[in-house]
Amino acid sequence: MTPTDSELISLAVSSDDVGAFGELVRRHQSAVRRFLRHLARGNDSLADDLAQETFLQAHRGLSRFRGDAPFLTWILGIAHNHYRNACRRRRDEVPLEADEARMVYAPSLERRTDLRQDLSAAMDRLTPDEQLAVRLAFENGLSHSEIAALLQWPLGTVKTHLARGKDKLRELMSAWNPQI
């Protein structure tokens, strides 16, 4: 039987079992790296370096994991902190205007077959905070309160960003609405 995250964490903490921690890394590396790649906006090597630091810090602090939220939520929170610290160190956060200026593709008004391409273009029209909230909710399946805890935002802010993001997406992706 496949051990749960909680069982692996117990093994890693009580027996210093590196194999158990390795399994946790294998399970969650994709979500953590994707999350950081999104934040780093295409700088994959920076994202992967931050992901490695994230897991190393998680290992050091594993005994402090209380299990109030899923392990993935906890580790994405660490990843987010690492990204913010890296931005502070490098002072290279891309302002929203620049992000919008590099847009070269807009979602088509006619129904298309490439959902991912249309959605990716539509997502680029959202502010970074809206993108983050939408991705965490729909890509990672986190609840509003988990997103709030992870990003250290008030719950109302999460709901606002999600609602605004979805408002924009509803319009930008209207060609995909089967009711129209």
Partner 1 sequence: MNPPDDAWLDALLARGLKQEPLPDDGFTLGVLDSLTFRPATHSWIVLALAWAMAGTGIALGLSRSGAWEQIAGGWLPVVHLAAGILGDPWMSLVALAILASVALAWVPARSAFKYG
Q: Which residues bind partner 1 (CB under 8 A)?
A: 16, 18, 21-22, 25-26, 29-30, 33-34, 48, 51-52, 55-56, 59, 115-116, 118-119, 134-135, 138-139, 166, 169-170, 173, 176-179
Q: How far is the CB of 91 from partner 1 (least distance, A)?
A: 26
| Residue with tokens 């939220």, as numbered in its chain | 69
Looking at residue 63, the DSSP 8-state letter turns out to be G
Classify residue 2 as exposed, middle or buried by CB count within 10 Å of its CB (0-12, 13-18, 19+): exposed
Q: How far is the CB of 77 from partner 1 (least distance, A)?
A: 18
Cβ proximity to partner 1: between 93 and 127 the closer is: 127
Q: How far is the CB of 179 from partner 1 (least distance, A)?
A: 6
Q: How far is the CB of 176 from partner 1 (least distance, A)?
A: 6
Cβ proximity to partner 1: between 16 and 92 the closer is: 16
Cβ proximity to partner 1: between 89 and 116 the closer is: 116
Report the alpha-carbon distance of residue 53 to residue 101 in Å, rounded. Answer: 31
Q: How far is the CB of 17 from partner 1 (least distance, A)?
A: 10
- Asked if residue 169 lies in contact with residue 121, where contact means CB atoms within 8 angstroms, the answer is no
Cβ proximity to partner 1: between 97 and 180 the closer is: 180
Cβ proximity to partner 1: between 93 and 128 the closer is: 128
Report the alpha-carbon distance of residue 100 to residue 78 in Å, rounded. Answer: 28
| Residue with tokens 């950081």, as numbered in its chain | 36
User: Structure tokens of 102?
Assistant: 């590099």
- Asked if residue 7 lies in contact with residue 54, where contact means CB atoms within 8 angstroms, the answer is no
- Asked if residue 79 lies in contact with residue 32, where contact means CB atoms within 8 angstroms, the answer is yes
Looking at residue 87, the DSSP 8-state letter turns out to be H
Cβ proximity to partner 1: between 41 and 166 the closer is: 166
Q: How far is the CB of 120 from partner 1 (least distance, A)?
A: 8
- Asked if residue 26 lies in contact with residue 71, where contact means CB atoms within 8 angstroms, the answer is no
